[in-house]
């Protein structure tokens, strides 16, 4: 018998034998090598240093080499893959994967299984391998065909495929090969170590893939549909790891549109299971995975959010996540896992809160009022770790839909600086959510706007308003609109200066009607307050009037024209600005036309409001204006309108009529 | 507790707890329950297979018609491995395991440590001090790096070398033959991948646990005092 402890000094001798031209000694040498490396990372590295990988590959590649040698080579390769991450990298770099995949074509079942074991270990621990099985079309088909043969092939192939279905093209290819029904059959087989990778594979193959979800929904074993099988696997007598992956598959089926949120299998089975996974008595991995999957599921539907919010003190439980600091783990294989649990738990909790509070104000209130929660959110925003900051932003975005509840947070916790930093320096994909959050928060901030302005909010928003992406442009202009609501004149001036009239008017002809509306809203906010109106019209009056004409004469939805008329009404409120309208015959004629516009009464109301401001008695020059408008027939028109059935219009008309004295 | 609910829903109206249950009544209740022959046979087959009694399992299969849950030829390997360990030939056992289950010791380094530790113990038992130190240095140091929690176990083993009569030292229990048995069972369990306790043993444990629970609540009932013979004694 050849023992690993023997002949330490002769080690070099064994390696020489393997590289030598003495085939009769290879079997013994390989046996020695196998026993040397199994369980010993140092020996694995030692073997690599002696150039063992290329030598093993030679046997594996050579279809004519003696089968027993090829088998040992595959087994030893498999042991090498159980070493350190560097060992696995070496294997991948030296091209082992494609050699092993070719080995699957062998008729020798034991050899195939050894190759599969090695591949499975490599794929599980090296995330770069995911696309390697797609390099040749026959590989996937071979794997699917081999899979059912034995417990070993089932477990290994399922694991390999589970690690290889991240991209939509991969998902489609796997589905085309008829993988899903085969997986369902294996799931029913009740062999635990097969069921687990099968579940992970199913999760990977249906995630965000509507077509695959449909196939999975209808897949059956013995007339039991897959979703029902999954519900059985979520029962409490199963291991947590099984419950959570089964729940994941169901959640993805819901997200992919195959299962409705109200389906009892989702709302009464999957949801409670995920909430269970978040509780304190589970491992940290289960907590993180549970919360993240819960977040994914809750985003699908408001009813799910409502039910979740009252389940098992979930908000309190998730709040506890925020208190975790770094904890390391060592598992039984002796591999130290360096995971920063503080980061993982926090980002999972933020994601879950974001989903919980997506639709319901009452839930948002609960979240916001949870002790210290908002402080953690702000700390999260300031975190150097982008994963945490991104999750914190999503949380804040969700909560900002009830911005008035966030008043203290905004005041006390300095949310502006980190928010601006993320917008200006953070990754592109965070821009939409970060800028939406900014818009929402701008709705509610105190008269002391120095802090937000000091943070450069205006230029940030102006830059957004110039972006080619419509959603970012919208957020930019919307933010400016919110910013200028009831604000001081100097801020208004600054805004107009920053954005420039040219950009403003370009936005007025934006193809997106929402953007036009918000730009008009901005103008309206700028032109509120008599003094401001005169000031701004004094500087930009001509351009503004041109813009008004441009919109009224163009093809625009009713709301857009209504907003424009409201702006005109604001202009008419300015003491000096009034003249800009009065001096424009064409504009006055337009107003009269709109006073009679049918069928939409909103335009009539806006036009009358404008007239009302123009003729407002008691103001300088009122008599002259009234006379002029009367001459044009406005008074008569107003009298006619008194017969309207619309109460709002009637009130406005009556007020206007009363001005004529 | 006014009602004692027996298995299968037999509801027995009783008086206050102090009364307890007398032996006659107890035996009557017990005889009302029937455990099927097939169930019994399965338990026995499970015991024989788990414990590695291959010939008996084969014979029992022929006589009872119960199919064993695994191929009985697989038992041979497990039996051989267990024998090697019980004879102190650890390295031979490791080689056999690596031939049959090449992933096992890579996956379970703690088990591998226990096997290596046993080899170390055997070297110490044989008085091969230098070989023992050499082995510890070459092979076991790495285990310690991977998993610091085994260091205390390693220390205890190496401490044996400090004594002239190690079997009389505070760690002498490591030299007992039952230590080999422990390792053999651990390895057996790992190979079986499932709970290596025969189901029969679990049932007996359940019985003992139930009696304990009843004792805690100070209930009078006829106890089974001898598991091996199934003797039930009347309550005092």
Residue of A nearest to B107 (CA): A333
Among candidates A8, A38, A334 on the partner chain, residue whose Cβ is nearest the Cβ of B147: A334
Mean pLDDT of A309-336: 77
Q: How far apart are CA A129 and CA A118, in angstroms?
A: 13
Name the band, by pLDDT with cuts 50, 70 and 90, for residue B15.
Answer: very low
Q: A356 near A370, Cβ under 8 Å? A: no
A329 has which bridge partners? A337
Residue of B nearest to A110 (CA): B100
pLDDT digits (tens, 9 = 90+) for B82-114: 999 999 999 999 999 999 999 999 999 999 999
Position A329 scores a pLDDT of 57
Angle (deg, nearest 10), helices A168-176 and A137-146 = 50
Name the band, by pLDDT with cuts 50, 70 and 90, for residue A661.
Answer: low
Whether the ipTM is more than 0.90: the answer is no
Distance from the Cα of A70 to chain B's closest Cα (Å) equals 15
Residue A449 has pLDDT above 90, yes or no: no
Looking at chain B from residue 143 to 202, which residues have their Cβ under 8 Å from any Cβ of chain A?
143, 146-149, 193
Distance from the Cα of B157 to chain A's closest Cα (Å) equals 18
Taking residue B59's Cβ as centre, other Cβ atoms within 10 Å add up to 12
Higher pLDDT, B199 or A395: A395
Name the band, by pLDDT with cuts 50, 70 and 90, for residue B4.
Answer: very low
Distance from the Cα of B14 to chain A's closest Cα (Å) equals 34
Distance from the Cα of B110 to chain A's closest Cα (Å) equals 7
pLDDT digits (tens, 9 = 90+) for B46-59: 888 887 788 889 99
Looking at chain B from residue 20 to 79, which residues have their Cβ under 8 Å from any Cβ of chain A?
none
Please state, for a pLDDT cut of 90, what percent of chain A lies above it: 53
Mutate to test the interface with A, among B102, B137, B138 (most CBs of A within 10 A): B102
Task: Verify whether the Cβ–Cβ distance A34 to B91 is below 8 Å.
Answer: no
Residue A385 has pLDDT above 70, yes or no: yes
Query: DSSP string spanning A265-334?
Result: IIIIIIHHHHHHHTSTTS-HHHHHHHHHHHHHHHTT-HHHHHHHHTSTTHHHHHHHHTT-----EE-TTS
Mean pLDDT of A478-494: 87
Please report residues of B whose CB lies closer than 8 A to that of A192.
none
Give kind and range of the element (H or E) at residue A262. none
Name the band, by pLDDT with cuts 50, 70 and 90, for residue A530.
Answer: confident
Within 13 A of A447's CA, how many CA atoms are on the CB side? 2
pLDDT digits (tens, 9 = 90+) for A30-75: 999 999 999 999 999 999 999 999 999 999 998 888 999 999 999 9
Among candidates A3, A39, A114 on the partner chain, residue whose Cβ is nearest the Cβ of B95: A3
Taking residue B4's Cβ as centre, other Cβ atoms within 10 Å add up to 15
Task: Verify whether the Cβ–Cβ distance A42 to B143 is below 8 Å.
Answer: no
Please report residues of A whose CB lies closer than 8 A to that of B95.
1-3, 35
Query: DSSP string spanning A526-537?
Result: HT-SHHHHHHHH
Name the band, by pLDDT with cuts 50, 70 and 90, for residue A4.
Answer: low
Question: Which range among A116-125, A430-439, B161-170 has the greatest average pLDDT?
Answer: A116-125
Chain A to chain B Cβ contacts (< 8 Å): 64
pLDDT digits (tens, 9 = 90+) for A261-319: 999 999 999 999 999 999 999 999 999 999 999 999 999 999 999 999 999 899 999 99
Place of tokens 């009364």: B19
Distance from the Cα of B226 to chain A's closest Cα (Å) equals 33
The candidate with the shortest Cα–Cα distance to A91, out of A39, A131, A40, A128, is A128
Please report residues of B whose CB lies closer than 8 A to that of A117.
102-103
Position B192 scores a pLDDT of 82
pLDDT digits (tens, 9 = 90+) for B24-83: 888 888 888 888 888 899 999 988 888 778 888 999 999 998 888 777 777 888 889 999
3-state secondary structure of A82: coil
Angle (deg, nearest 10), helices A67-80 and A23-37 = 20
The candidate with the shortest Cα–Cα distance to A147, out of A121, A180, A100, A190, is A180
Please report residues of A whose CB lies closer than 8 A to that of B112.
39
Please state, for a pLDDT cut of 70, what percent of chain A lies above it: 94
Helices in chain B by DSSP H: which ranges? 23-31, 37-51, 54-64, 73-86, 90-100, 104-107, 109-125, 129-135, 141-146, 151-159, 177-192, 199-216
Position A450 scores a pLDDT of 67
Residue A235 has pLDDT above 80, yes or no: yes
Handedness of CA A226, A227, A232, A236 (dihedral sign): positive
Q: A382 near A418, Cβ under 8 Å? A: yes
Q: A429 near A395, Cβ under 8 Å? A: no
pLDDT digits (tens, 9 = 90+) for A551-573: 888 888 888 899 999 999 998 88
Residue A404 has pLDDT above 70, yes or no: yes
Mean pLDDT of A153-157: 96
Position A7 scores a pLDDT of 46
Mutate to test the interface with A, among B101, B103, B115, B186 (most CBs of A within 10 A): B103
Task: Verify whether the Cβ–Cβ distance A334 to B91 is below 8 Å.
Answer: no
Taking residue A287's Cβ as centre, other Cβ atoms within 10 Å add up to 25
pLDDT digits (tens, 9 = 90+) for A106-147: 999 999 999 999 999 999 998 888 889 998 889 999 999 999
């Amino acid at each position: 018998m050849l023992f690993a402890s023997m002949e330490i000094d002769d080690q070099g001798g064994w390696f020489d034998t393997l590289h030598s031209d003495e085939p009769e000694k290879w079997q013994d040498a390989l046996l020695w090598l196998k026993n040397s490396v199994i369980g010993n990372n140092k020996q694995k590295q030692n073997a690599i240093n002696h150039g063992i990988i290329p030598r093993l590959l030679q046997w594996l590649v050579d279809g004519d080499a003696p089968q027993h040698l090829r088998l040992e080579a595959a087994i030893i390769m498999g042991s090498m893959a159980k070493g350190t991450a560097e060992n696995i990298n070496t294997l991948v770099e030296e091209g082992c994967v494609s050699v092993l995949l070719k080995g699957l074509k062998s008729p020798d079942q034991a050899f195939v299984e050894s190759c599969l074991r090695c591949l499975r270990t490599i794929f599980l621990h090296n995330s770069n391998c995911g696309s390697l099985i797609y390099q040749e079309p026959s590989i996937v088909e071979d794997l699917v065909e081999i899979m059912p043969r034995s417990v070993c092939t089932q477990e290994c192939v399922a694991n390999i495929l589970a690690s290889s279905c991240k991209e939509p093209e991969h998902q489609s290819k796997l589905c085309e090969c008829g993988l899903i029904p085969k997986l369902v059959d294996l799931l029913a087989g009740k062999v635990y170590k097969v069921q687990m990778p099968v579940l992970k594979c199913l999760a990977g193959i249906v995630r965000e893939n509507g077509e695959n979800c449909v196939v999975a929904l209808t897949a059956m074993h013995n007339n039991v549909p897959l979703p029902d099988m999954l519900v059985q696997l979520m029962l409490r007598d199963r291991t947590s790891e099984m419950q959570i992956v089964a729940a994941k598959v169901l959640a993805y089926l819901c997200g992919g549109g195959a299962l409705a949120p109200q389906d009892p299998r989702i709302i009464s089975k999957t949801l409670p299971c995920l909430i269970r996974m978040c509780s304190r008595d589970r491992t940290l991995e289960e907590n993180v995975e549970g919360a993240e999957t819960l977040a994914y599921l809750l985003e699908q539907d408001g009813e799910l959010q409502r039910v979740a919010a009252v389940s098992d003190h979930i908000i309190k439980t998730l709040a506890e996540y925020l208190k975790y600091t770094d904890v390391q783990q060592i598992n039984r294989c002796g591999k130290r896992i360096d995971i920063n649990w503080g980061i993982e738990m926090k980002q999972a909790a933020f994601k879950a809160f974001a989903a919980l509070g997506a639709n319901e104000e009452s839930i948002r209130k609960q979240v916001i009022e949870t002790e210290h929660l908002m402080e953690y959110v702000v700390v999260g925003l300031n975190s150097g770790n982008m994963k945490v900051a991104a999750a914190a932003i999503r949380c804040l975005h969700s909560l900002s839909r009830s911005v008035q509840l966030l008043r203290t947070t905004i005041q006390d916790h300095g949310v502006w600086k980190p928010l601006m930093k993320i917008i200006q320096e953070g990754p592109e994909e965070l821009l939409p959510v970060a800028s939406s959050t900014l818009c929402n928060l701008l709705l509610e901030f105190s008269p002391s706007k120095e802090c937000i302005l000091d943070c450069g909010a205006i230029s940030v928003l102006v830059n957004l308003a110039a972006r080619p992406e419509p959603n970012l442009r919208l957020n930019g202009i919307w933010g400016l609109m919110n910013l200028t609501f009831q604000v001081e004149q100097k801020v208004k001036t600054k805004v107009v200066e920053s954005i420039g009239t040219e950009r403003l008017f370009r936005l007025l002809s934006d193809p997106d009607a929402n953007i036009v509306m918000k730009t008009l809203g901005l103008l309206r906010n700028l032109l509120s307050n008599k003094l401001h109106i005169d000031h701004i019209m004094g500087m930009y009056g001509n351009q503004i009037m041109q813009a008004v004409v441009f919109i009224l004469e163009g093809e625009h939805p009713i709301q857009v024209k209504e907003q424009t008329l409201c702006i005109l009404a604001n202009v008419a409120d300015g003491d000096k600005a009034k003249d800009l309208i009065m001096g424009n015959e064409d504009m006055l004629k337009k107003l009269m036309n709109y006073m009679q516009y049918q069928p939409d009464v909103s335009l009539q109301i806006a036009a009358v409001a404008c007239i009302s401001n123009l003729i407002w008695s008691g103001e300088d020059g009122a008599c002259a204006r009234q006379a002029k408008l009367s001459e044009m027939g406005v008074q008569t028109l107003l009298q006619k309108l008194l017969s309207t059935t619309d109460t709002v219009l009637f009130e406005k008309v009556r007020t206007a009529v009363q001005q004529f004295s | 507790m006014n009602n004692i609910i027996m298995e299968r829903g037999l509801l027995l109206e009783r008086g206050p707890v102090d009364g307890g249950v007398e032996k006659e009544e107890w035996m009557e209740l017990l005889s009302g329950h029937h455990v099927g022959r097939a169930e019994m046979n399965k338990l026995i087959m499970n015991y024989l297979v788990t414990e590695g009694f291959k010939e008996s399992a084969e014979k029992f299969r022929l006589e009872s018609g119960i199919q064993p849950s695994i191929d009985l030829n697989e038992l041979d390997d497990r039996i051989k491995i267990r024998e090697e360990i019980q004879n102190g030939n650890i390295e031979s056992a490791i080689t056999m395991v690596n031939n049959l289950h090449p992933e096992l010791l890579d996956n379970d380094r703690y088990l591998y440590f226990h096997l290596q530790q046993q080899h170390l113990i055997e070297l110490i038992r044989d008085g091969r001090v230098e070989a023992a130190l050499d082995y510890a240095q070459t092979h076991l140091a790495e285990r310690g790096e991977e998993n610091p929690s085994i260091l205390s176990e390693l220390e205890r083993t190496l401490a044996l070398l400090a004594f002239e009569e190690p079997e009389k030292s505070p760690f002498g229990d490591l030299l007992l033959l039952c230590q080999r048995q422990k390792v053999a069972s651990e390895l057996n369990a790992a190979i079986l991948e499932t709970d290596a306790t025969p189901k029969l043993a679990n049932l007996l444990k359940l019985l003992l646990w139930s009696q304990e629970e009843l004792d805690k609540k100070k209930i009078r009932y006829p106890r089974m005092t001898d598991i091996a013979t199934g003797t039930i004694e009347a309550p005092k």
